[in-house]
Structure formats: structure tokens, C-alpha cells
Amino acid sequence: MGELWIMFRKDLMDILRDRRLLTAVVLPLILIPLLFGIIGSSNHSTSVSVRVIDNDNGEYSRTLVAFLQKNGIEVNESSPVTLIIPAGFSKAIESSTSPELIIQVDLSNPLDFKTVRSAEVVKGLVLRFGSGVLPSLKSKFKIEVGGSVLNVEPSRYISSLLRGPLAVPLVLFVVAIYASQAVAASVAMEKESRTLETLLTLPISRRSIILGKIFSSIAFSVLVLASLAVSFGVFTRLSPYSRNSGSLFVSLAPLLFFSVGTFLLFILMLLTSLLVSLFTLDVRSALSIAGLVEVVYLIPVIVLFSGAGLSGPWGILVKTDPGYTPVQAFLSAVAGDYFMALGALVYLVLWNAMVLKLAVWVFDSGVLMTKRIDAGHLRWLVRIKM
Amino acid sequence: MPIIEVSNLEKSYGSLWALKGISFQMKEGEIFGLIGPNGAGKSTTLKILATLMPQDRGRVEVAGYDIIREAPKVRKLISYLPEEAGAYRNLTGREYLRFVAELYANATGKDEKEMFELGIELAGLGTRLDDKVFTYSKGMTRKLLLARTLMVVPKLAILDEPTSGLDVMNAYEIRERIKEFSRERGVSVLVSSHNMLEVEFLCDRVAIIHRGIIVEAGTPGELKEKYNAENLEEVFVRASRRVSYG
């Protein structure tokens, strides 16, 4: 029996029996709605333009365009969001029937959430216009990306992506959140129960100690994810939005780059959580610190999903965050720049190697015996999780 | 060959020098005591010997192996009991002993079952071994940890304040176990304590450490004779005063 297996078994048993880890179970239930809440609340933060094809050219179509402009929408011929006003639109309103508008969205890539967000703003204004003129006014969506056409509302685009081609990276990401909490707690439990000193003098390599904790945390997270999947499955069956509305096709190579990138980011999150939690004094501090690590790596995802632009110094900062690298690899692969995509993965591999080396050094150097992080002032993070 | 050879060992924590160049040797099979007050440098010495942290200067060898360059080899030969050690609270005592026995068996090729059964015998906790560790009293935890330390029959057992915080009965029992085990199995034991009477009872030889310096070393008998003292406590006080006041 190898030392890694012995370590893995002990750690898994220790984690599964600790009730405090329930906080880690609660975290994604709060974090994920929070993420989508931020996305929802950022509707008006981007400048929006729309291309208008007015096949009606009647009184109401002109009023609609003027209404959009009055509300800050720029009418621009090169905009990826097109509002198609069908012929007979004004007459339909006058005769109180239900006219239908088409909002066509042309995404530059599957992760072009900025354009999706613009379409959502246009939709909101069209509905506001309708509420003042004709409540039965409807809008129909066509989202085009890479040759695929989706008939979904913009607000459903992200979930349709996550149910389809991005399901694997999403699963990895959720597992990473759980696992980084578990690994931080596992290390902190060693410190809290004063077993770490003994462990470091046992005849087992530092690498096996680190990997034993990483693997047992992954195993724990997979168990939690399985239970989440069951409840999520029940939720989507009952949800009125679960109907099929077309599927998005993304070619294999970009998906592969995205999945490998997400996996590398996943390992990096675990290693970082393990490294910082080595210096905490108890499980609560460790969970707080792990929460911060997650936030640091989640920033690019939040920025991306919110549709904010990535230009200027802020953009450079976000793009250098390892959390952005899977996205960079994906976008480069979509654009056919495989050299750049590979470079992004190498960047993540280097980060992993650096953090692993640092963790082994921390074990060997003895700084664990003398240095501490007092995460007491970060307790609010735990309270939020609770 | 000595089991421990320490020469000119120095260690600092920032600007504070915990060890200021100590040297000593320990023979195989003996029980050697490092005695001194809190903050004298005992625990630092033991942590360095247990490969937990590197020294700043000086050389330390365990059974001829350098503790920095050959740390993995040293870890196969030693077994360390820290002063404020605990066991995995969510495991039972039995599971904890098995975990350690498996690791040593894997690393050293020793018989896992034999170590495990010896651990059960040394712990002396009976059916409570099947309870989770967080239900144990301090004395029970210490017995479990001592059993874990000794059951692997190391070449060198390093015990930092083995009876710290225990009541008289538990402390007595643990001292008896250490002495008996060392005699029976020929295990070398390095023990630190600020309890002079405990050390006098346990140790073949002692070194008195004060403010990071070894001020005296020898058998308890030799030291008592040299300082014309009745016990080691008196020896310690006189030797320390000599260093403090010149």
C-alpha cells in the first residue's frame, strides 16, 4: 500500500466526519446566485448600440427607434445587435393585434457576454415601450454564434451554454470551489488538532502529504457535487425554462483547451488554498482564506459574465489573473490561434509548478513553526457563507 | 557510533537567538534528558532533531545521517512526540494507531500488525480505543500519542515534555512506560522537561540548557556530586546562577 493511498484514506475519513465542513457545502449555494445577481444588476453599466432594420417605416416604428435613442441606445450600422421591425408593425399596433419584433444577435465568440448583455438591455426597453403602447408586444430572439442559431432570450443564453458545451468546465469549477474549501479545512484541522508537527516528522514525503490532501478533497467535492446534481436535476425538471430552445455547437479543439485550462486552474486553486491555509490557526480562518483565494480566481469570470470591457490597466490586470487563462485559451482556439492557446495553458502550468514548489518549500523550511496569518479580521467571510 | 551528534548548533527567531552554539552527544540505547526552564531552547533543539525546522548554523547527525541533507532517512529512524501534540479528532484511537503503523510499515518494511498490536498494548485504553479521539481526556490522548511514538520501535524516540499538563497518576504511568520500553527494546530516548525530578528518575545522562547554552552535562549522580546537591533541581539552580552571575 503506497504512502499516498494511506494519506488519502486518512484525510478523506477525517474530512467526511467533520461537521464544520458543512459551511463549504453552503458556499456555492450562495456564491453562484450572487454571481448571477451581479450579472443581472450590471444591465445598465455598458454602453449599448443597436442596428435597426425598419421594414415598417410607420409612425410606431419611428417612435420606437426614437424611444430607444432617448434611453441612451446608440443606433449604429455596425452593431452586433440588430432590431428588425417587420412591415405592418404600426398597423398591427393600431388594430391592437400582437406585433412581433425580432432581435438578432451576432456574437463574435461564445463568450461574448457584452453583446448578450446589450441585447438584454434592448429587450428591456422594447418591453417598456410596449407597456406604454401595447402590452401584447412581443420580441423574438435569434442569437447567432459560429454558425449556430439559438432561439433563446439573452438571459437564458448563459444557462444554455452551461447546460451544453461549457458543462464540463462548469462542473470542474464547482468541484474546485468545494475542493479548495475542503483542502483548506483539511490543513487547518491538522493545525487545530495539533497533528501537523507530528505528520511532518513521519516517514512520508511532503509531496504525498500535499497530494493526499488534494485528492481526498477532490473526492469529497465529487460526493457533494453528486448530491447537488441530483437536486439540480430535480430543479431543472420542474423549471418552466428547461424546454429545448436549440443547441450551440462549439468545435472540439476550443472546448478541449477550455477544459484543460479549467482543470489546471482547478489544481491551482487547491494548491493556493492549501498553501495559505498552512499559516492559519483554525478551520474558520482557513475557510475565510480559501474564500479569498476563490474570489481572486473568480474575478475574471465575474467581469466576463457581467459583459464589462477588458481594456486599460484594469483589463491587463484581469487578463494576467490565472482565472482568466482558460478563457484566453478558449478564445484563442476559437480564433484559430493555437499557439496562443497553448501559451495560455503553459502559463497555468507554470503557476501550478510555482505554487507546488512554494508549498514544498514551506513544509521543508520550518517557517510553518514560526509564521502565522491571523485571519480573525476575515471572519466576516465565514459569516457571509453561513 | 553515537545516535545523536550535535555540534555548534545555532538557531534564531528574528533577532532572538534561541540556541547559541550547543554541542552534545547521545549514546545508543540511553535515555538522555535536556532540562531547563521554559524558553531555554529545549523544544527548538528537539524540533531541529525531529527534522521540523533547519538550524541556522552547526551540524546535527542522527545515526550518522545529516538531518538536513538526509532528512527522509532520519524520519525512518525517529519518532517524535511534540509537547502540545494532538491526534486526529475524527478518527478513533484504533484508526489513528493503524494509520501510523501503515506509514512506518510502508517506509521501513517493519511488520504493520506487530506495530499496531504493540500500540494497542502500550496505549492501555481498552475498549475506549474504538471511540473517537475528541471524546478522550488529556491523559488518554497523551497515552495514545506515547503509544503511537513508541510502537514503531524507533532507533530514537524524541519526547518533548512527555508528561506536561498531566495529573500525578498519569504522569507516573507514562514515565514508567518510557523507562521500561527503552530498557526492554534498547530504544534511545531523548527527553526534554522542566521537571527535574522526572528527568532524574528517567535519564541516564542529562544536559542542562539555559538561555540557549548547555551549562552542564553528565549523569545525575555526577552532577549532584559536582554541585554537592541533593537533587537535580538544586544542580540546575546552582549551574544557572553560575552562568547568570559569572
pLDDT in tens, B32-53: 999 888 888 999 999 999 998 8
- The C-alpha of A13 sits at a distance from chain B's nearest C-alpha, in angstroms, of 7
Look up residue A369 and give its three cell numbers: 513553526
The Cα A213–Cα A206 span in angstroms is: 11
Helix boundaries (H) for chain B: 42-49, 71-77, 93-108, 112-123, 138-151, 168-185, 196-202, 220-226, 232-245
| B4-84+154-245: CATH superfamily | P-loop containing nucleotide triphosphate hydrolases (3.40.50.300)
The Cα A110–Cα A334 span in angstroms is: 9
Query: How many other C-beta atoms can be found within 10 angstroms of the C-beta atom of residue A41?
Result: 10
pLDDT of amino acid A158: 65
Sheet strands (E) in A32-163: 49-54, 74-75, 81-85, 100-107, 138-145, 148-150
pLDDT of amino acid A310: 66
Q: Are A269 and A363 in contact (CB under 8 A)?
A: no
Cα distance between the two ends of chain A: 39
Domain ranges of chain B: 4-84+154-245
Mutate which: B12, B45, B102, vs A, most A CBs within 10 A: B102
Q: Identify the residue with better confidence: B25 or A276.
A: B25
List CB contacts (< 8 A) between B47 and chain A.
Answer: 197, 366, 369
By CA distance, what is A190's nearest residue in B? B88
Mean pLDDT of B61-81: 94
Distance of CA B130 to the CA centre of its chain: 27
- The C-alpha of A289 sits at a distance from chain B's nearest C-alpha, in angstroms, of 22
A interface residues, B as partner, C-beta within 8 Å: 1-3, 6-7, 10, 13-14, 17-18, 189, 193-195, 197-198, 200-205, 364-366, 369-370
Q: Identify the residue with better confidence: A198 or B164.
A: A198
pLDDT of amino acid B133: 92
A6/B85 Cβ within 8 A: no
Percent of chain B with pLDDT over 90: 61
Q: Which residues contact A182 (CB under 8 A, 6 or more apart)?
A: A15, A21, A24, A216, A217, A220, A221
Which amino acid is it at A138?
Answer: K
List CB contacts (< 8 A) between B72 and chain A.
Answer: 203, 205
Decide if B10 touches A, using CB distance below 8 A: no
pLDDT per residue of chain A (386 residues) written in tens, 0 to 9: 688 888 888 888 877 777 666 555 555 556 555 655 555 555 444 578 888 888 888 888 888 888 888 888 888 888 888 888 888 888 877 777 767 778 888 877 777 777 887 888 888 888 777 776 666 666 666 666 666 666 666 666 766 666 666 666 667 777 777 788 788 888 888 888 889 889 999 999 888 888 888 888 888 777 776 666 665 555 455 444 444 445 555 667 777 888 788 888 888 888 888 888 888 777 777 877 787 788 888 888 777 766 666 677 777 888 888 888 888 888 888 778 889 999 999 999 999 999 988 888 887 776 666 655 555 555 544 444 33
- Res B63 pLDDT > 90: yes
pLDDT of amino acid A1: 62
Domains of chain A: 3-41+164-385 (no CATH), 49-157 (3.40.1710.10)
pLDDT of amino acid A186: 82
- Res B67 pLDDT > 90: yes
